[in-house]
């Protein structure tokens, strides 16, 4: 017959009581706990967070926009081709252009052609990743099409590696945005090559989450072209260094459409040159302007503060457009130099909209556009079936 010392039995019993005490809050509603005295709430352990199968929630599957990834790759590749040829002091017959999934440049035939082709081949590098190292495949395929025309195109392996890197970069940004909403224990993980799975327990409407995640958060500060009005530019010709953007959050902007361009919003003729980028932000918080309306107050890092101070110092009296995802949020006139590295974005925001926008800006811009291909509300039925069977 087994015999335990009394102190051992007492220790076991005390441990069991402590464990049960920690489990008690899970059987009491949070509203009841809030009504307890403050000193009593200090002894209440955190509740066990139920998963998606037990309390239900939102299930979202996002897919990276491959065309956006390819466009960014070709933009970078075109710049690299131009820099390579310029550094080698080689002139082209026709400048590099992105078309048909690659970059084409027509070189002048002669003794420099072989040198130019050799320099362009050096742009192709071996592909490597963190798992298997060097794969044996290369990033670019350089083809001589004849008559001086050279085509530089990313390989399929390079495209897949770019998509993989994009997903890896997007996941921590999505995590920051979801956690910024105060949601408890979301599941965010890669699925396949080009997809991200997001599951949030307790969230009954996935549309708000999709809106928050789907925002690219490409923040830019550009000067307004004051040499002519936007309407004059539309009726005549838009300068090559400028484009038309709209001060509205619901209208897709394009300079290649006919009026009404902004569907009731204000069109702005802004320069294409970006003076300060959102990547220089260190913080963004919800605040209120002098009229008591919600706004977003932001802070730059040292580099952004220097750029912002210089552009405001040199352009006093000119409108300065604050642009988010190619939409003009506001275009205030620069009254004086802003040297402190701080500013604000004003607009017709609700408190919720301002808060969500601040979350997005704090988390940073997504490396590429993500499109929801599956969204659904998951009920707690699966977990309840398991509980029933367990009983």
Three-state DSSP string of the chain: CCCCCHHHHHHHHHHHHHHHHHHHHHHCCHHHHHCCCHHHHCCCCCCCCCCHHHHCEEEEEEEECHHHHHHHHHHHHHHHHHHHHHHCCCCEEEEEEEECCEEEEEECCCHHHHHHHHHHHCCCCEEEECCCEEEEEECEEEEEEECCEEEEEECHHHHHHHHHHHHHHHHHHHHHHHHHCCCCCCEEEEECCCEEEEEEECCCCHHHHHHHHHCCCCEEEEEECCCCCHHHHHHCCCCCCEEEEEECCCCCCCCCCCCCCCCCCEEEEEECCCCEEHHHEEEEEEEECCCCCEEEEEEECHHHHHHHHHHHHHCCCCEEEEEECCEEEECCECCCCCCCCEEEECCCCCHHHHHHHHHHHHHCCCCCCEEEEEEEEECCHHHHHHHHHHC
pTM: 0.66
Average pLDDT over residues 287-306: 85
pLDDT at 382: 61
Confidence band, pLDDT 50/70/90 cuts, at residue 362: confident
Q: Tell me whether domains 57-65+163-215+371-382 and 219-363 share a fold.
A: no
The domain segmentation of the chain, as residue ranges, is 57-65+163-215+371-382, 66-160, 219-363
pLDDT digits (tens, 9 = 90+) for 266-283: 889 999 988 888 878 888
pLDDT digits (tens, 9 = 90+) for 156-176: 999 988 898 888 888 888 888
pLDDT digits (tens, 9 = 90+) for 112-133: 898 999 999 999 888 876 555 5
Class of the 57-65+163-215+371-382 domain? Answer: alpha beta
Which CATH number does 219-363 carry?
3.30.1360.200
Average pLDDT over residues 297-313: 88
């Amino acid at each position: 017959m087994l015999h335990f010392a009394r102190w051992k039995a007492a220790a076991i019993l005390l441990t069991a009581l402590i464990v049960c005490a920690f489990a008690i809050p899970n059987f009491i509603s949070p509203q009841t706990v809030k009504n307890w005295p403050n000193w009593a709430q200090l002894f209440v352990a955190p509740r066990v967070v139920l998963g998606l199968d037990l309390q239900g929630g939102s299930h979202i599957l996002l897919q990276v926009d491959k065309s956006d990834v390819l466009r960014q790759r070709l933009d970078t590749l075109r710049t690299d081709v131009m820099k390579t040829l310029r550094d080698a002091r080689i002139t082209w017959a026709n400048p590099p252009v992105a078309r048909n999934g690659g970059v084409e440049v027509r070189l002048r035939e002669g003794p420099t052609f072989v040198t130019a082709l050799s320099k362009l081949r050096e742009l192709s590098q071996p592909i490597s990743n963190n798992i298997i190292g060097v794969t044996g495949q290369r990033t670019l395929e350089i083809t001589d099409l004849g008559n001086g025309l050279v085509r530089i195109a990313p390989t399929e392996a390079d495209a897949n590696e770019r998509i993989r890197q994009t997903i890896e970069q997007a996941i921590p940004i999505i995590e920051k945005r979801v956690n910024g909403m105060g949601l408890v224990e979301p599941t965010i993980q890669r699925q396949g090559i080009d997809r991200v799975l997001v599951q949030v327990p307790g969230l009954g409407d996935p549309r708000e989450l999709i809106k928050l995640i789907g925002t690219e958060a490409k923040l830019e500060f550009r000067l307004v072209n004051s040499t002519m009005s936007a309407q004059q530019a539309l009726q005549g010709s838009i300068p090559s260094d400028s484009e038309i953007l709209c001060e509205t959050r619901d209208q897709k902007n394009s300079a290649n459409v006919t009026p009404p361009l902004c569907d009731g919003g204000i069109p702005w003729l802004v320069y294409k040159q970006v003076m300060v980028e959102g990547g220089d932000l260190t913080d963004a918080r919800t605040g209120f302007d002098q009229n008591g309306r919600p706004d977003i107050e932001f802070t730059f890092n040292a580099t952004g503060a220097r750029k912002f101070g210089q552009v405001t110092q040199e352009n006093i009296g000119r409108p300065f457009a604050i642009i988010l995802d190619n939409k003009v949020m506001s275009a205030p006139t620069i009254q004086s130099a802003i040297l402190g590295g701080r500013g604000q974005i004003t607009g017709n925001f609700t408190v919720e909209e301002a808060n969500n926008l601040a979350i997005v800006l704090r988390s940073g811009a997504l490396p590429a556009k993500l499109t929801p291909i599956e969204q659904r509300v998951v009920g707690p039925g699966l977990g309840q079936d398991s509980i029933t069977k367990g009983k």
